[in-house]
């Protein structure tokens, strides 16, 4: 599992480590690793370091210092290194090291033919946005040069991923001591490119992280355990309240997402039209058709978790359905039309003790939070902050969909999903996701695990069907790929 720490935490850990080490040790560790990555990239690009052309964009702080010391190492290996100062001063030790090693200082015009650029304009000490001289220098960097950001791409807010104005777009970001949240969340994540993490020894001084990213190896231990003796009821039963006479497909997609994630049974509860569609496509689902006034959802039978909302209309019937489901003392996923009902009547969450997972995209969250027009854009630019705020305000686990899906728990933890792909931006893919999360909840996962593991599997399934070329997919393609996205469970050996 990767984890990230905000700047204030990284600074405190750095101070604690620096107090125990000779001055400059951390910067040398950072510079050595940075030079190693740059050397590798140069060998891949031009076959060697000797004679390769390297430009360094140097700001006035220690980020520039890292870049200059790394540049000195590359110059000693024979690279032709030119540094372009962009601030009021440059790191003195780094300046001397570079010139001693045979590197030089020049102007932005000297960047015209570089193979690789080190972005040492600002790191964790920078405010978002770049000054005009930095923007002008970036324009002189050849479009095909390899760009390596030092610690963070300059212009990206390391704590939030926010970008205001121009920011460096890196091929690789070499980050020191800890991932910063802004490297993992768009738009910052997109600017960071591939991230190379360098351990400079901060580990013992970092607190338990509140922001994490699941990796492949984290999955098996986080999936519902499939005990040898479990019957279908013990394995988990999910209730799905979805679809309306107008939107019938959402019900089919949600039930399919749940069944293909692995579950004991799905009980579908809804209006006659979606119920017919579900019966026809998923004969394994147990279907209950509700009367027109939508009374008595609970009479459908016992379940361990509910999904409510895909394809529901936020009318009186929708309200009655969401109210009944949220009144039951089991975990509930609220999606789509269910979120619209909640936005209009937040009191439906009053007194609820069992876990709730809300799965809005930015527009739905703006309505839930009753933001003024433009709220959606605000949320997209500050995804982390709004996901956490909503989790706190609603006392629910909030999965904010988007370019980087963030899952926030009411206790302040966040998981950022690494498997998202733009091919998932297609109608119905959210309905499948709610079924996946519902199945994991019914299987006994916590709300936070169910939402974050669900997002992970959903993204991986999309990647599997769409392939490395990113072939277009439709939501129903995810059904077939879900079983392949689910790794072996730890106790599968029992079989
Ligand atoms: N503190 C440490 O222990 C270590 C720090 N390291 C490096 O040091 C960096 C932090 O260094 P600093 O604290 O000196 O801060 P930075 O170098 O990140 O930036 C601060 C400097 O940039 C200027 N600045 C701020 N915002 C700007 C903007 N938008 N445009 C242009 N200039 C701007 C400031 O006036 C200041 O001079 C890290 O990101 C990392 O690269 C590494 O050497 C590892 C060890
Ligand atoms: K930088």
ipTM summary value:
0.95
- Check residue 143 and give its pLDDT: 96
Residue 77 and residue 469: Cα distance in Å, rounded?
37
Residue 106, ligand 1, Cβ within 6 A: no
- Check residue 326 and give its pLDDT: 98
Residue 119, ligand 1, Cβ within 6 A: no
> Which of these three, 183, 213, 243, is where a domain ends?
213
- Structural domain includes residue 64: yes
Please state the domain count of the chain. Answer: 2
Task: Let me know whether 12 and 24 are in one domain.
Answer: yes
Nearest ligand by distance to the CA of 124: 1
3-class DSSP assignment, residue 247 = coil
Concatenate the DSSP letters of all residues of 310-338 into one string. TT--SSHHHHHHHHHHHTSSS-EEE-THH
- Structural domain includes residue 240: yes
* Mode of pairing for the β-strands spanning 172-176 and 194-198: parallel
* CATH code where residue 402 lies: 3.40.1190.20
Residue 123 assigned to a binding site: yes
Q: Are 55 and 27 in contact (CB under 8 A)?
A: no
- Structural domain includes residue 465: yes
Residue 60, ligand 1, Cβ within 6 A: yes
Largest Cα–Cα distance in the chain? 84
Query: Which two structure tokens, joined as six digits, stand for 352?
Result: 């609820």
Task: Let me know whether 115 and 223 are in one domain.
Answer: no
Q: Are 249 and 428 in contact (CB under 8 A)?
A: yes
Residue 271 and residue 418: Cα distance in Å, rounded?
37
Residue 431 assigned to a binding site: yes
- Structural domain includes residue 494: no
Helices 429-442, 249-261: crossing angle, 10 deg rounding: 40
Residue 187 and residue 326: Cα distance in Å, rounded?
35
Residue 14, ligand 1, Cβ within 6 A: yes
CA quadruple 105, 200, 148, 459: dihedral, nearest 10: -170
Neighbours of 487 (CB within 10 A): 16
Task: Select from 90, 122, 136 the residue to mutate for testing ligand 1; criterion: most ligand atoms less than 8 Å from CB.
Answer: 122
> Which of these three, 181, 213, 245, is where a domain ends?
213
Task: Let me know whether 196 and 278 are in one domain.
Answer: no
- Residue 36: Cβ-neighbour burial (10 angstroms; 0-12, 13-18, 19+): middle
The length of the chain is 495
Residue 27, ligand 1, Cβ within 6 A: yes
Residue 26, ligand 1, Cβ within 6 A: yes
- CA within 13 Å, CB half, 161: 28
- Structural domain includes residue 428: yes
Task: Let me know whether 176 and 273 are in one domain.
Answer: no
- Check residue 126 and give its pLDDT: 84
Strands (E), 199-316: 211-213, 237-241, 265-270, 286-289, 305-308
Residue 257 assigned to a binding site: no
Residue 365 and residue 376: Cα distance in Å, rounded?
8
Residue 486 assigned to a binding site: no
* CA 466 to ligand 1 centroid distance, Å: 40
- Structural domain includes residue 354: yes
Task: Let me know whether 152 and 246 are in one domain.
Answer: no
Which atom of ligand 1 is closest in space to residue 155's alpha carbon?
Answer: 29
Task: Let me know whether 240 and 196 are in one domain.
Answer: no
Residue 63 assigned to a binding site: yes
CA quadruple 213, 216, 222, 225: dihedral, nearest 10: 170
Task: Let me know whether 405 and 443 are in one domain.
Answer: yes
Range list of H helices, 327-382: 337-344, 362-368, 375-381
Task: Let me know whether 231 and 200 are in one domain.
Answer: no
Residue 30, ligand 1, Cβ within 6 A: yes
- Check residue 488 and give its pLDDT: 60
Residue 387 and residue 398: Cα distance in Å, rounded?
6
- Structural domain includes residue 495: no
Strand 194-198: give its sheet, edge to edge. 104-105, 80-85, 53-58, 116-120, 146-150, 172-176, 194-198
Q: Are 315 and 345 in contact (CB under 8 A)?
A: no
Task: Let me know whether 386 and 279 are in one domain.
Answer: yes
Domain holding 475, by residue range, is 216-489
Which atom of ligand 1 is closest in space to residue 200's alpha carbon?
Answer: 44
- Structural domain includes residue 51: yes
Task: Let me know whether 313 and 180 are in one domain.
Answer: no
Task: Let me know whether 209 and 344 are in one domain.
Answer: no
pTM: 0.91
Nearest ligand by distance to the CA of 25: 1
Task: Let me know whether 194 and 233 are in one domain.
Answer: no
Which atom of ligand 1 is closest in space to residue 176's alpha carbon?
Answer: 44
* CA 43 to ligand 1 centroid distance, Å: 28
Residue 124, ligand 1, Cβ within 6 A: yes
Sign of the dihedral defined by the CA atoms of residues 445, 447, 452, 457, in that order: positive
> Which of these three, 168, 190, 213, is where a domain ends?
213
- Asked if the bond preceding 187 is cis, omega within 30° of 0, the reply is yes
Residue 316 assigned to a binding site: no
| Nearest CA, atom 40, ligand 1 | 63
Concatenate the DSSP letters of all residues of 477-493 into one string. HHHHHHHHHSPPPTTGG
Residue 210, ligand 1, Cβ within 6 A: no
| Nearest CA, atom 36, ligand 1 | 61
Query: Using DSSP, how many helices (H) and how many strands (E) does the chain show?
Result: 18, 18
pLDDT per residue as tens, the chain (495 positions): 999 999 999 999 999 999 999 999 999 999 999 999 999 999 999 999 999 999 999 999 999 999 999 999 999 999 999 999 999 999 999 999 999 999 999 999 999 999 999 999 999 998 878 999 999 999 999 999 999 999 999 999 999 999 989 999 999 999 999 999 999 998 999 999 999 999 999 999 999 999 999 999 999 999 988 777 778 878 899 999 999 999 999 999 999 999 999 999 999 999 999 999 999 999 999 999 998 877 899 999 999 999 999 999 999 999 999 999 999 999 999 999 999 999 999 999 999 999 999 999 999 999 999 999 999 999 998 999 999 999 999 999 999 999 899 999 999 999 999 999 999 989 999 999 999 999 999 999 999 999 999 999 999 999 999 999 999 999 999 999 999 999 864 444 333
DSSP H or E stretch at residue 252: helix 249-261
Residue 122, ligand 1, Cβ within 6 A: yes
Residue 62 assigned to a binding site: yes
In DSSP terms, 195 is beta-bridged to 173
Residue 150, ligand 1, Cβ within 6 A: yes
Q: Are 345 and 319 in contact (CB under 8 A)?
A: yes
| Nearest CA, atom 9, ligand 1 | 63
Residue 2 and residue 184: Cα distance in Å, rounded?
10
* CATH code where residue 78 lies: 3.40.50.10260
């Amino acid at each position: 599992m990767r984890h990230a720490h905000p700047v204030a935490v990284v600074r405190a850990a750095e101070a604690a480590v620096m107090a125990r080490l000779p001055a400059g040790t951390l910067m040398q560790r950072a510079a050595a690793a940075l030079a190693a990555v740059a050397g590798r990239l140069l060998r891949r690009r031009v076959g060697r370091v000797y004679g390769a052309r390297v430009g360094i964009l140097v700001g006035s702080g220690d980020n520039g210092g890292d870049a200059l010391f790394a540049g000195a190492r590359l110059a000693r290996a024979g690279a032709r290194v030119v540094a372009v100062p962009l601030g009021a001063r440059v790191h003195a030790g780094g300046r001397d090291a570079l010139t001693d090693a045979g590197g030089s200082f020049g102007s932005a015009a000297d960047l015209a033919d570089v193979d690789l650029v080190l972005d040492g304009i600002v790191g964790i000490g920078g405010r978002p946005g770049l000054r005009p001289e930095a923007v002008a220098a970036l324009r002189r960097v050849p479009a095909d040069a390899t760009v390596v950001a030092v610690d963070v791409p300059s212009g990206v807010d390391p704590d939030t991923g926010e970008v205001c104005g121009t920011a460096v777009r890196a091929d690789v970001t070499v980050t020191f001591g800890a991932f910063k949240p802004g490297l993992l969340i768009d738009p910052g994540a997109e600017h960071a490119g591939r991230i190379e993490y360098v351990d400079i020894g901060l580990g013992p001084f970092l607190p338990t992280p509140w922001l994490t990213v699941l990796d492949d190896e984290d999955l098996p231990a986080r999936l519902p355990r499939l005990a040898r003796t479990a019957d279908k009821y013990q394995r988990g039963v999910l209730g799905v309240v979805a679809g309306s006479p107008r939107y019938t497909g959402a019900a089919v997609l949600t039930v399919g997402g749940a069944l293909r994630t692995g579950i004991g049974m799905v009980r579908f509860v809804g209006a006659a039209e979606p119920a017919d569609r579900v019966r026809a496509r998923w004969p394994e689902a147990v279907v209950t058709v509700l009367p027109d006034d939508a009374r008595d959802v609970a009479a459908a039978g016992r379940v361990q978790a509910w999904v409510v909302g895909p394809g529901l209309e936020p009318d009186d019937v929708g309200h009655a359905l969401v109210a009944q489901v949220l009144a039951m003392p089991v975990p509930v996923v609220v999606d789509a039309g269910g979120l619209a009902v909640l936005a209009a009547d937040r009191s439906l969450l009053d007194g609820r003790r069992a876990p709730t997972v809300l799965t809005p995209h930015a527009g739905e969250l703006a309505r839930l939070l009753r933001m003024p027009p433009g709220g959606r854009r605000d949320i997209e630019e500050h995804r982390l902050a709004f996901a956490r705020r909503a989790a706190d305000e609603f006392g629910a686990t909030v999965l904010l969909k988007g370019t980087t899906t963030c899952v926030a728990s009411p206790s302040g933890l966040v998981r950022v999903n690494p498997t998202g792909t733009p091919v998932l931006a297609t109608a119905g893919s959210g309905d499948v996701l709610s079924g996946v999360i519902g199945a994991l909840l019914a299987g006994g996962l916590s709300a936070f695990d169910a939402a974050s593991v669900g997002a992970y599997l959903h993204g991986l399934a999309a990647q599997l069907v769409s392939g490395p070329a990113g072939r277009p997919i439709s939501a129903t393609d995810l059904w077939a790929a879900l079983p392949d996205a689910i790794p072996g469970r730890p106790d599968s050996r029992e079989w």
